[in-house]
Amino acid sequence: MNDTMRALVIDRTGGPDELRLADVPRPTRVLDEVLVRVIAVGVNPIDVKTRAGRGVSGAIATWPAVLGFDFAGVVEQSPYAAHPLQPGDRVYGMGRVPRVAGSYAEYLAVTSLSVTPMPASLGFVEAAAVPLAALTAWGAVFETARVGAGTRVLVHAGAGGVGHFAVQLAAHAGAEVTATGSARNAEFLRSLGANRVIDYTRERFEHVAGEQDAVIDLVGNVADDTGTRSLDVLHPDGVLVNVPTGSWPTMGDEAAARGLRATGYVVEPDARVLAEITRLIDTGAIRVHVECELPLADGAEAHRLLESGHVRGKVVLRVAPDPR
């Protein structure tokens, strides 16, 4: 095996065109890590923010830097002979950028605690779109908001990467789901299980949503003070979960001033939870939507698509052909 690999890197933070293909050292697997030959990677808003100088960019220690959390691929090296993950296994998961190099590359070394077998019903491209977004939705909906049967929950940006999983998970749990989205995504959101869809371009959600036990805020105050307005619909005993980093710096103070609960949420790359998500995918309880697939070399275009704010589901970069 070569000591180098192709990767999509940045030499500094900036615009999408900072992303370029380069030859970089192939990672060396140590301890409990698995070495994964990457086939496809999901593109997430945190990647875009980091490339632009926000996100986790402040922790980048060396340049060029490889971004990317999500991956789907094949195990190349396993920690030991009897480990549950063995060479040739089709796996997916998420890494810890920038503590380790990211997944926009031909190979990735990542702790086995964040890797699990792919859903049998998905190909590599669809699988790569799942981990970070679905784990974020799971953590926000179940672990933080404690959504269950009969819970009234409002999901902002319900057609996006995290949103389309949050809507499905809440609906699967028996919640009464209201989602905000554009008119073009109304039928899509209903197909995911939303009981009601509010077109944010035509209606003020706080005027029509009614009281909600939980708000899954995937927008914050970066657009039309969505976060602040969400407090107007929150039940006094409810909770607002804000996900996008840096999207609402005054959230804590605003919620406290009204005697309401609001919290941020940061995803954990947990293979045990991802395995449960895998089960739901393979039973047909939830599905993943891929808006488009692009080659790794078109990473800049993928970032531009996410920055447009109008992606339905996920954008995925193809790193290598499917193995035979």
Contacts of 157 (CB under 8 A, 6+ apart): 163, 180, 181, 218, 219
Provide φ and ψ at 202, rounded to 5°. -120, -25
Q: Which amino acid is at 160?
A: G
Determine the residue type at 174.
G
Domains defined for the chain, CATH in brackets: 4-130+288-318 (3.90.180.10), 133-264 (3.40.50.720)
Instruction: Specify the 3-state DSSP secondary structure of 225.
Output: coil
Other Cβ atoms less than 10 A from the Cβ of 221: the count is 20
What pLDDT digit, counting tens, does each position of 151-192 carry?
999 999 999 999 999 999 999 999 999 999 999 999 999 999
pLDDT in tens, 256-269: 999 999 999 999 99
| In the chain, % of residues over pLDDT 70 | 100
| CB of 240 closer than 8 Å to CB of 261 | yes
- What is the pTM (predicted TM-score) of this model? 0.97
Does residue 2 have a pLDDT over 90? no
Does residue 21 contact residue 104 with C-beta atoms inside 8 Å? no
Taking 90 as the threshold, does the pLDDT of residue 248 lie above it?
yes
Which parts of 79-141 fold into alpha helices (H)?
124-128, 131-138
User: Does position 309 have pLDDT exceeding 90, yes or no?
Assistant: no
Picking from 2, 167, 141, 136, the residue whose alpha carbon sits closest to that of residue 70 is 136
CA pair distance 102, 41, nearest whole angstrom = 10
Asked if residue 133 has pLDDT above 80, the reply is yes
The answer to whether the CB of 164 falls within 8 A of the CB of 313 is yes
Distance from the Cα of residue 108 to its chain's centroid: 18
State the pLDDT at residue 250.
97
Average pLDDT estimate for 208-227:
97
pLDDT at 257: 97
Q: Pick from 45, 100, 63: which is nearest to 302 by CA?
A: 45
